[in-house]
A and B are shown apart, each in its own frame.
Chain A
Amino acid sequence: MAHFDENAKPFSHQWLNDRLAIDTLKRVLSTEYWIPKNINFLWAMGMVLAATFGLLLISGIFLLMYYQPNTNLAFDSVNYTIMTEVGYGWLWRHIHGVGASVVFLIIYIHMFTGIYYGSYKRGRELIWLSGMLLFVLFSAEAFSGYMLPWGQMSYWAGMVITNLFSGGSLHANGLVEWIRGDYIPGQAFLSRFFMLHVLLMPLVIIGAIVFHFGTLRLPHVNNQDGEDFDFEESARLYKEGKKKESKVIPFNPVFLSKDVFVMGIYFIFFFYLVFYHFEFAMDPVNFDPANGLKTPTHIYPEWYFLWSYEILRPFPTDPGLIAFGFAQVIFFLLPFLDRSPNVAPASRRGLFKFWFWILLVDMIVLTFMGKLPPQGIWSTIGLIAAIIFIALWVLLPIITKLEKKL
């Protein structure tokens, strides 16, 4: 039984401390949560993501007050009611639309930062795995949200993506119908994706974010040199006032001050997009209402799914689906496929340096080809890029095994 100070006034510091251990919480989560000093602005991407998620959540709540999940009303509730009749409805919608796109840009930067600095190894495997889980959850959230305006691209993307579940030659049409709740995307389809988008997915995402933070606490954040040092010792130096000698800084306020500065720059960029350059996040095709009798000339996903779409597309149906499945799960396996003992920036890791940049460029090429019409030279380039992608992952254990210990 804990000791309770009976003289403590309700809600006084002592009173709360007895009941919630607020001093300990504050120490563990903030003032003595040690972060390496040797970091750059890329280490702020986690907080930038949290802030963007916050913007998506808040703007989403406002949109939810007016959105109508009904196939007859959805399109106009978004494009007319929210854009015209609701005060600042357009602002919430643009924040939500731009946020949904930009959040993936930051996720990719965050991911490639982790890959470049080897931040998925030596105790940090769960950080990587929970991060990848978040990537998948955000993808599901983005896809389900994309259905809601019920425009042409919502409808046809919904048709194409749910069709993937037929499994090619397996012809599992029953599964596809079960997912859609109908033979084609209709009211049942819209209602369930609405539920997923506004309830189930956000709940799971919030849980996964907490878990992601949790996985970070013990192994600590990596640093620019992948240096493995004694956090306890550095923390002691810092607390003794030997800040120059110490290799760490407390999360609050020192690390946070840099995070907030980076966030400031990010918000300038973000709101510039919201006010002056939002078209990239709202595809023109989706401003035509859903029409099951009229297939759009070009069907393509949003930019952040293009690379995996292009791994599906250049192959015949069955191998394509297998390649697509491969692309979806392979990033999860990174900590186990990288056989090198080194935690260091890619630039110091021999062949891995080339692996990293080739992967990045290859995924950008795949992204380009995923949007272009699959004809002529574009198909060929897409096929080669898809094969390179698969080859890179097959080669990864070999080239990392050959790597010399630093």
Chain B
Amino acid sequence: MNKELKILGIVVIFTLILYWGVEPFAHSQMHKHVEGHGLVYDGKADIEEASKAKKEAKEKFWADVKRISSIKGDPVAGEATFAMCGSCHMKNASNMGGVTPPSLDHAGALYDKNFLIALIKNPAMATNVDHKYKDTATHPMGGVMSMVSSDQDIANVVAYLKTKKAGEVTPKEAFIEACSRCHANRYGKLTQLGEIPKTKSNIKTGQDIDRMKYDQKVATEQNALADYLGKLPPDLSIIYRARSEHFLETFIENPQSQLPGTAMPRTGLSHEGMEKVLSFLEETGDPSKPARDALGPWVLAFFVIFTILAYLWKQYQWRDLH
């Protein structure tokens, strides 16, 4: 018996060493480690990464954001100013310069306050994709820079979003508003145009004509996106299994940190927004988790009982051998 345990110990130790080497250790060496910055959007990482020529501009930009952040905004005045935003950010909005403006129904809950201020002040700088533009005013949302330009106006609009557009948001809504303008999620039945409508085959043609029309619209949208971003952003159905959660968090927080030069803008998610988006990605990427957690203990309990019975049988069979 002692000898058996000794042998088992050797087998277990070698197995664990093997596992450590090919899993945790190998993966820690293969991917560069990026520290998150706790979803605080103060431009620190942007300034560090920036080229010499841009450093100064970035420093000034984020100092301005900090200043505006300390101004008390007036939500009522903000609502009036916000009316201007509604001319693009509306229901059934159409593609503008490559991307369809997202709904802002839960913007106050999904996005960080400082990020919203920065975004209104200069969208390209805030999203850390200014390297793509000679003049940041040519960003598809660049118009906002002339529409809402005074510090007080910016503070007012953000105050409005943070109070009136901060209702309870579901994981799916969070994904649709924050991600799905660019990323489809086919397992979640979402395209860049939102939820895939239910359609039926047409009895005369035997084909689902409505679906074909919808697909055509999606193709047009995707084509515009690919033209604008350089390539079509990947479908995120199962990205939760393809990347670690740490990667997703730090990537969403600042895409440039993990993939320098990427066309993906920072989305400025707040803690709540990040939690909701990741929870939707988990739902579509790893849908069996609740079922696993429910069934696992029963199966393991079965085999524990099985093993106890097997041990008793073994003891019985070997009782008079030695």
Contact = CB atoms under 8 A, between A and B. Distances in A.
Interface string B31-45: 000000000000000
Contacts of B300: 268, 271-272, 275
Interface in B304-322: 304, 306-308, 310-311, 313-314, 316-318, 320-322
A257 interface: yes
Contact of B241 (A84, A268, A287, A368): A287
B299 interface: yes
Contacts of A105: 15
B292 A90 contact: yes
A372 B28 CA distance: 10
Given A40-B3, A260-B314, A364-B18, A83 B322 contact: no
A268 B305 CA distance: 10
B320 A244 contact: yes
Interface string A277-289: 0001010110110
B7 interface: yes
Interface string A296-330: 01100001001000000000000000000000000
A41 B307 CA distance: 14
Contacts of B30: 297-298, 371-373
Nearest to A40: B4
A253 B317 contact: yes
A275 B300 CA distance: 9
Contacts of B293: 275
A287 B313 CA distance: 44
B18 to A, nearest CB: 6
Nearest to B288: A90
Given A84-B187, A105-B15, A284-B242, A243 B306 contact: no
Contacts of A272: 300
B65 to A, nearest CB: 34
Given A41-B4, A243-B321, A280 B26 contact: no
B203 interface: no
A226 B18 CA distance: 29
B242 A288 contact: yes
Contacts, number: 132
A271 B21 contact: no
Contacts of A254: 317-318, 321
A306 B18 CA distance: 11
Interface in B274-310: 285, 287-288, 291-293, 295-296, 299-300, 303-304, 306-308, 310
B205 interface: no
A360 B320 contact: no
Interface string A87-127: 01011001000000000010001000000000000000000
Query: Could you say which of B25, B285, B288, B292 has the most chain A C-beta atoms within 10 Å of its C-beta?
Result: B288
Contacts of B239: 287
A222 B29 CA distance: 43
Interface string A37-56: 10011100000000000000
Give the secondary structure class of B's interface.
Answer: helix
Interface residues of B, number: 52
Nearest to B241: A287
Interface in B177-208: 186-187
Interface in A162-214: none
A319 B4 CA distance: 43
Given A268-B304, A280-B23, A243 B320 contact: yes
Given A257-B313, A257-B314, A109 B241 contact: no
B304 A275 contact: no
A372 B306 contact: no
Nearest to A255: B317
A33 to B, nearest CB: 15
A219 interface: no
B307 A265 contact: yes
Contacts of A257: 310, 313-314, 316-318
B22 interface: yes
B237 interface: yes
Contacts of A264: 303, 306-308, 310-311
Given A257-B313, A257-B314, A372 B299 contact: no
Nearest to B292: A275
Contacts of B320: 243-244
Interface string A363-394: 01001100111000010000000000000000
A346 interface: no
B243 interface: yes
28 contacts: A37-B321, A40-B3, A41-B7, A76-B186, A79-B238, A80-B186, A84-B187, A88-B291, A244-B321, A254-B318, A257-B314, A257-B316, A257-B318, A258-B317, A260-B310, A261-B307, A261-B314, A263-B310, A264-B306, A264-B310, A271-B300, A280-B19, A282-B241, A298-B30, A303-B18, A303-B22, A371-B22, A372-B30
Query: Closest 7 A-B residue pairs measured CB to CB?
Result: A264-B307, A275-B296, A90-B288, A287-B242, A368-B21, A287-B241, A257-B317
Given A261-B307, A268-B303, 20 more contacts: A41-B8, A80-B187, A83-B287, A83-B288, A84-B287, A91-B291, A260-B313, A261-B314, A264-B306, A264-B310, A271-B300, A271-B303, A275-B292, A275-B295, A280-B23, A284-B243, A287-B238, A288-B234, A367-B18, A368-B21
Interface of B: 3-4, 7-8, 11, 14-15, 17-19, 21-23, 25-26, 29-30, 186-187, 234, 237-239, 241-244, 285, 287-288, 291-293, 295-296, 299-300, 303-304, 306-308, 310-311, 313-314, 316-318, 320-322
Interface of A: 37, 40-42, 76, 79-80, 83-84, 88, 90-91, 94, 105, 109, 243-244, 249, 253-254, 257-258, 260-261, 263-265, 267-268, 271-272, 274-276, 280, 282, 284-285, 287-288, 297-298, 303, 306, 360, 364, 367-368, 371-373, 378
